[in-house]
Structure 1
Amino acid sequence: MKRFITTFLASSALALVAGIASAEQTALVLYETKGADQSEREDGIAFVELDPTSPDYGQILAQIPLPEDFFSHHIFYNPSRTKAYVTSLNTPELRVLDLSAFPYRHTSVEVAGCAVGEDVSFSEAQGKWYLTCMGSSVVIVGDARTDEVLETLTMPAPWPHGIATNDAIDRQLVTSTVNPSDMTQWGEEIVVMQPSTGKVLSTHKVSDRPSPSGAGPVEAFFVPGVEPALAYITNMDGSLWLAEWRPGLEIFEFHEGFRFDELGQGMTLEVYFNAEGDRAYVTSAKPGNLNAFDITDPRAPRHLWATETAGGAHHLVFSPDGGRAYVQNSLLNIEGMNDGSISVIDLATGEQMDSINTFKDAGLTINTIVLTPEAEDSHSH
């Protein structure tokens, strides 16, 4: 597999350096060796061409290797898109990429006490970043300019994973997801925090079923441009919940909005919004689907279609014209949910147009996909 990567580097790296800014659509993906056998493990960041008219379509243009024991998981850009933060499932660190010059250089930021680093969120008002640590049930707060760790916040509900920040209302939503040491133990709560003070304000169960409900809230996403604020919450049990902000009371009200398990889907994961703000796209990992919603009325999302992708449907990026979605198919390298392909979906019809199998065919799987930082990508995440 290392020979596979090297071949693409030799043939394409120079072209990438000269032309990455002019390429129609280049994505960054985190990849790792697929399956249980990790004896010859690879871990890294790859540049992949997604423009179907390019001679390099679907191919790896270059890569940034990461330590084999890092177990890279997610990439998050800071608001100015000058830095990228890569989380680690295995080591107490963030890898921070300087995006001001190519090739990107990365440094390691120690986040002591963080086990199973998951998501990073940013508060521009506070000048801070927030890292959820699912294995140690804390949120670590850092200075967004210097990346110095400032404090560690212990969560009242275990296994924090997703985190969403809304500076306009001075609130954060943190999900309580799953015990990474025993994935039969799922959380069921959302923690509401106040970024300006770091205080926990309340906790809320996001299930109508008796406790322990096994809801497993994964992520929370504020719907762009909606006032009063509104967030969508994805649950591992196959449901979508809504958190509606009540300005007069300064609280959220939570209620169920849709059930994917009634469509035979489980492990609901991510929500992405189109640039026009009238569509939301939701992935579910088991058996692997992309769902489209009409959110003309964002408080009453209307399901339009579901299309099967492949096991582990997780993150996605949009084409420049918004007509295609590229869905990365793998969740935590779990057997049956680690296909390793990228499904290309026509968003007008919900039909699969293509499957990019470059990583899958090389014995690799993909943990996340984001567009390169210069892309106009503000309505995804």
Structure 2
Amino acid sequence: MKPLSNLIATTALATLAAGIASADQTALVLYETKGTATPRHEALAFVEIDPAANDFGEILAEIPLPPDMIAHHIFYNPERTKAYVTSLGRSELTVFDVTAFPWRKTVVDVPDCVVGEDVAFSERLDHWFLTCMGSSVIVVGDGATDEVIEVVPTPEPWPHGITVRDDIGRVLATSTEDPADPTVLGDSIVEFDLATMEHLATYATTRSPDAPSSPVEIFFVPGAEPPVAYVTNATSADLWIAEWRHDAERFDLRPGFDFAPLGQAVPLEVYFNDDASRAYVTTTAPGHLNAFDITDPLAPKHLGAAETAPGAHHLVFSEDGSLALVQNGLANIEGINDGSISVVDLDRMETIRQIDTFKDAGFTVNMIELLPESPGVHTH
């Protein structure tokens, strides 16, 4: 493995603050040693992502993480004062105070959580919700103190994706797969009452009981009325639509788009542009970014796909919204843990540049996110 010592600035206050202040656009990248090589290394890196910058693709600074953490996702609270980092390897949730440099961290012990996946927030209740795919629970925490309020067993196992809509008082979570045996798959999403976390309904996300879909992520479309959520199904390679019916106070689910005819598999994340007129969906195998016109969120229209690299997963947008930078790596799984970051021109829907900083040094990338002051951060 090639060392990164010649690329990484220290995490001291002056260096970190100066590096980011001089950057054209900075992103956060969670990375780890690729495959099973030892010794292990994990960190949260600050990376220059503006293709016009002289130091494009370089690491400006980094914060070391435990080598067995397997840091998976970064989520900001609604006030953008904290960053919550989930862990696949430890029963803990790492919370960074992002209001000043250097970022100070607090580790929240969540002993009931195995394979921590996603975090969603209720601004109305000031609560956070952590899905735990390995222990089939959702941990509810206090947004002010980060103390655990309750641990909610899910009626369907292996919760992964989660999304909250305050105005209708609902939480939706996916049932994905058994992390101990990924051949055992889920095929539904579960609806909870936001205030009580009472189970209200379970909805199938499969066309046939004999063909489990393994829904991974779920996102409410920003501002959609009636409320609409998109569900990505990894195994069935399709996108499903959950439409809220105000009269019945329940959701109607139906297929929205099939990626299989395009030769794409394992759809994962959904991102929206500023006015929610476009949705962008990553598919991991062989690695694509798909664009949809969602002027009518109930009828997404596929506009095209850009080839990235194996493991296409999370993304961030450039400041002007013309580019997407796609992180290529899924759970360090051989064959879909490329470790690169693809720069996609969203007008032409093609990859125009690539960051190989991590890949060339023997690392894979698990997450990319913008800094908290950026307007376009990813949220559930």
TM > 0.5: yes
1:234 aligns with 2:223: no
Say which is worse superposed, 64-73 or 7-16, in terms of deviation: 7-16
Q: Deviations over 1:12-70 (max 9, x none)?
A: 98554125245331000110001122x21001100000112222110011110111111
Letter in 1 for 2:36: A
Conserved in 1, the CA contact under 8 Å of 2:8 and 2:62? no
Letter in 2 for 1:218: V
Conserved in 2, the CA contact under 8 Å of 1:344 and 1:355? yes
Say which is worse superposed, 155-164 or 9-18, in terms of deviation: 9-18
Q: Which whole-Å CA distance do the structure 2 matches of 1:378 and 1:334 have between them?
A: 26
Q: Which whole-Å CA distance do the structure 2 matches of 1:11 and 1:248 have between them?
A: 54
Q: Which whole-Å CA distance do the structure 1 matches of 2:366 and 2:378 have between them?
A: 20
In the TM superposition, 1:315-326 aligns within 5 A as 315-326=314-325
Find the counterpart in structure 2 of residue 73 from structure 1. Answer: 72
In the alignment, structure 2 segments of 5+ residues that lack a partner are: none
1:366 aligns with 2:365: yes
2:218 to 192, 217, 220: 220
Letter in 2 for 1:105: R
Letter in 1 for 2:219: F
Conserved in 1, the CA contact under 8 Å of 2:244 and 2:252? yes
Find the counterpart in structure 2 of residue 198 from structure 1. Answer: 197
RMSD, aligned CA? 1.6
Find the counterpart in structure 1 of residue 261 from structure 2. Answer: 262
Find the counterpart in structure 1 of residue 18 from structure 2. Answer: 18
Find the counterpart in structure 2 of residue 294 from structure 1. Answer: 293
Q: Which whole-Å CA distance do the structure 1 matches of 2:96 and 2:311 have between them?
A: 27
Say which is worse superposed, 21-30 or 166-175, in terms of deviation: 21-30
Find the counterpart in structure 2 of residue 140 from structure 1. Answer: 139
Q: What SS does the aligned partner of 1:360 have?
A: helix
Find the counterpart in structure 2 of residue 342 from structure 1. Answer: 341
Q: What is the CA-CA distance between 1:276 and the residue it aligns to?
A: 2.3
Q: What SS does the aligned partner of 1:90 have?
A: coil
Q: Which whole-Å CA distance do the structure 2 matches of 1:146 and 1:107 have between them?
A: 11
Conserved in 1, the CA contact under 8 Å of 2:341 and 2:355? yes
Query: Normalized against structure 2, the TM-score is what?
Result: 0.96
Say which is worse superposed, 369-378 or 251-260, in terms of deviation: 369-378
Find the counterpart in structure 2 of residue 35 from structure 1. Answer: 35
Q: Which whole-Å CA distance do the structure 2 matches of 1:335 and 1:175 have between them?
A: 25
Find the counterpart in structure 2 of residue 105 from structure 1. Answer: 104
Q: What SS does the aligned partner of 1:9 have?
A: coil
Query: Normalized against structure 1, the TM-score is what?
Result: 0.96
Conserved in 2, the CA contact under 8 Å of 1:273 and 1:380? no
Q: Which whole-Å CA distance do the structure 1 matches of 2:308 and 2:138 have between them?
A: 33
Q: What SS does the aligned partner of 2:4 have?
A: helix
Letter in 2 for 1:28: L
In the alignment, structure 1 segments of 5+ residues that lack a partner are: none
Q: What SS does the aligned partner of 2:167 have?
A: coil
Q: Deviations over 1:280-304 (max 9, x none)?
A: 1000101111001111111100001
Q: What is the CA-CA distance between 1:316 and the residue it aligns to?
A: 0.2
Conserved in 2, the CA contact under 8 Å of 1:171 and 1:193? yes
Conserved in 2, the CA contact under 8 Å of 1:49 and 1:61? yes
Q: Which whole-Å CA distance do the structure 2 matches of 1:12 and 1:193 have between them?
A: 43
Q: Which whole-Å CA distance do the structure 2 matches of 1:274 and 1:240 have between them?
A: 18
Conserved in 2, the CA contact under 8 Å of 1:13 and 1:62? no
Conserved in 2, the CA contact under 8 Å of 1:13 and 1:61? no
Q: Which whole-Å CA distance do the structure 1 matches of 2:6 and 2:66 have between them?
A: 17
Q: Deviations over 1:350-369 (max 9, x none)?
A: 01110100000000011000
Q: What is the CA-CA distance between 1:8 and the residue it aligns to?
A: 2.4
Letter in 1 for 2:295: T
Q: What is the CA-CA distance between 1:6 and the residue it aligns to?
A: 5.5
Say which is worse superposed, 19-28 or 191-200, in terms of deviation: 19-28
Conserved in 2, the CA contact under 8 Å of 1:12 and 1:61? no
Aligned length: 379
Conserved in 1, the CA contact under 8 Å of 2:11 and 2:61? no
Conserved in 1, the CA contact under 8 Å of 2:15 and 2:61? no
Instruction: Go from structure 1 to structure 2 and tell me whether the alpha carbon gap of 1:114 and 1:43 turns closer, same or farther (over 3 Å shift).
Output: same
Between the aligned residues of both structures, percent identity stands at 57
Find the counterpart in structure 2 of residue 150 from structure 1. Answer: 149
Find the counterpart in structure 2 of residue 187 from structure 1. Answer: 186
Find the counterpart in structure 1 of residue 302 from structure 2. Answer: 303
Say which is worse superposed, 185-194 or 5-14, in terms of deviation: 5-14
Instruction: Go from structure 1 to structure 2 and tell me whether the alpha carbon gap of 1:341 and 1:379 turns closer, same or farther (over 3 Å shift).
Output: closer
Q: What SS does the aligned partner of 2:9 have?
A: helix
Q: What SS does the aligned partner of 1:252 have?
A: strand
Q: What is the CA-CA distance between 1:117 and the residue it aligns to?
A: 0.3
Conserved in 1, the CA contact under 8 Å of 2:30 and 2:43? yes
Q: What SS does the aligned partner of 2:358 have?
A: helix
Q: Which whole-Å CA distance do the structure 2 matches of 1:286 and 1:52 have between them?
A: 26
Q: What is the CA-CA distance between 1:5 and the residue it aligns to?
A: 3.6
Find the counterpart in structure 2 of residue 63 from structure 1. Answer: 62
